[in-house]
Copies of this chain bind each other. A is one copy, B any other.
Amino acid sequence: MNKTITVIKGDGIGPEIVTEALRVLDKIAQKYGHSFTYQQIDAGGCAIDKYGTSLPEESLQKCLDCDSVLLGAVGGPKWDGVDKNIRPEAALLGIRSAMGLYANLRPAKLFPQLSGASPLKPEIVARGIDLLMVRELIGGAYFGDHITEEKNGEKVATDLMTYSEHEIERIARTAFNTARKRGKRVISVDKANVLDSSRLWRAVVHRVAAEYPDVTCTDMLVDNTAMQLVKDPSQFDVVVTENLFGDILSDEASMITGSIGMIPSSSLGEGTRGMYEPIHGSAPDIAGKNLANPIGTILSAAMMLKYSFDMDAESEAIEAAVNKALDDGYRTGDIMSEGMTQVTCSEMGDKILENI
């Protein structure tokens, strides 16, 4: 198959980790007889430096004209002071919204080889961590109006947290459909004892749940979920929630695995075209030093093959190659532990390539 992939290397460690992922994709193309065309675009901080905006029109257009987008990381303290509309994050939000990527899937899974890296105690880790966060990505307080006004002699700022029935319904379907292929358990997270948007969320999720009698559906309040993730993550299979809660909880969930450098994510809309990126940030402190962990990005590429290109065997070949590199004891600095062999970002890429 021929596929056109829009590539955003971005800022900080972005270029290094994406480079390794592209090498892996090239190897897959060669081995399985595909051809991947990469169109590299500028977005994020580097685009601000070049064009004065984090998402030039041409970059956005290339995200819309492709089969999928692969992103490294954007942002960094260098651009903390810039206006909110041209911030690095605005590029991410702009792409998500323009591409209609309402479903953000973030697996938080313990790699058995790295179970010692979890901050949780061994008794809890032993029960297993294998959950999937399904976060609504283009609604809620992120995309409602943001208003700052002068009232009675002081500034008053308001963000609108808005959800409509169809927005909730489609993300609920994503969660239930995905749960069918996993443990058949959905936990829907809201704050229905306080928020109207959460009460609507809960009602619509229940309505959708009725169409999936083979999947159990349980409500959990967001504050309680923040506790339960730490207390006993093994109780979760699929967790579905709105944008802001999903931002907070998916980061918490990934941290309990102890290896955020390893976690990929996919953002999907109605079609098969998506955006794939590791969940970690741009880590400016180690940028350009060949120290970063490329696995989150490489597994994001694997997710792209599976979800957007229907290339299951190819995707699994990458996952197996990553697993073998870990089994063989290779570790980047962030996941290094006693008795293992520490490797650089590109060396980790080499090891994974060898296993494909």
Contact with B along A93-114 (1 / 0, CB 8 A): 1000000000000000000000
Contact of A120 among B119, B157, B194, B196 (CB under 8 A): B119
Contact of A141 among B164, B195, B254 (CB under 8 A): B195
Q: In the bound complex, what is the Cα–Cα distance between A200 and B121 (angstroms)?
A: 39
Interface residues of A in 112-143 (CB under 8 A from B): 118-122, 124, 141-142
Stretch from A18-26, A148-156, A293-301, A335-343 that touches the partner: A148-156
- Counting CB contacts under 8 A, is A147 at the interface? yes
Size class of the contact patch on chain A: 35 or more
Q: In the bound complex, what is the Cα–Cα distance between A124 and B125 (angstroms)?
A: 15
Q: Which residues of A contact B (CB under 8 A)?
A: 75, 84, 87, 89, 93, 118-122, 124, 141-142, 144, 146-148, 151, 154-166, 191, 193-197, 199-201, 222-224, 226-227, 229-232, 244-245, 247-252, 254-256, 260
Which residues does chain B contribute within 8 Å of A252, judged by CB atoms? 226-227, 229-230, 252
Q: In the bound complex, what is the Cα–Cα distance between A84 and B193 (angstroms)?
A: 7
Q: In the bound complex, what is the Cα–Cα distance between A325 and B14 (angstroms)?
A: 54
7 chain-A/chain-B pairs, Cβ below 8 angstroms: A87-B193, A147-B196, A156-B164, A156-B200, A223-B248, A227-B255, A230-B230
Q: In the bound complex, what is the Cα–Cα distance between A89 and B161 (angstroms)?
A: 21
Contact of A226 among B161, B197, B255 (CB under 8 A): B255
A271 CB, nearest partner CB in chain B, Å: 23
Copies of the chain in the assembly: 2
Which residues does chain B contribute within 8 Å of A121, judged by CB atoms? 118-122
Do A226 and B226 contact each other (CB < 8 Å), given the known contacts A146-B195, A157-B196? yes
Instruction: Tell me if B161 and A155 are in contact (CB < 8 A).
Output: no
Not counting A151-B164, A158-B161, a sample of 6 additional A-B residue pairs whose C-beta atoms are within 8 angstroms of each other reads A159-B196, A161-B161, A191-B247, A227-B252, A227-B260, A245-B248
Instruction: Tell me if A247 and B222 are in contact (CB < 8 A).
Output: yes
- The residue in A141, A147, A256 that gathers the most chain B C-beta atoms within 10 A of its C-beta is A141
Instruction: Tell me if B194 and A142 are in contact (CB < 8 A).
Output: yes
Which residues does chain B contribute within 8 Å of A260, judged by CB atoms? 227
Q: In the bound complex, what is the Cα–Cα distance between A201 and B146 (angstroms)?
A: 14
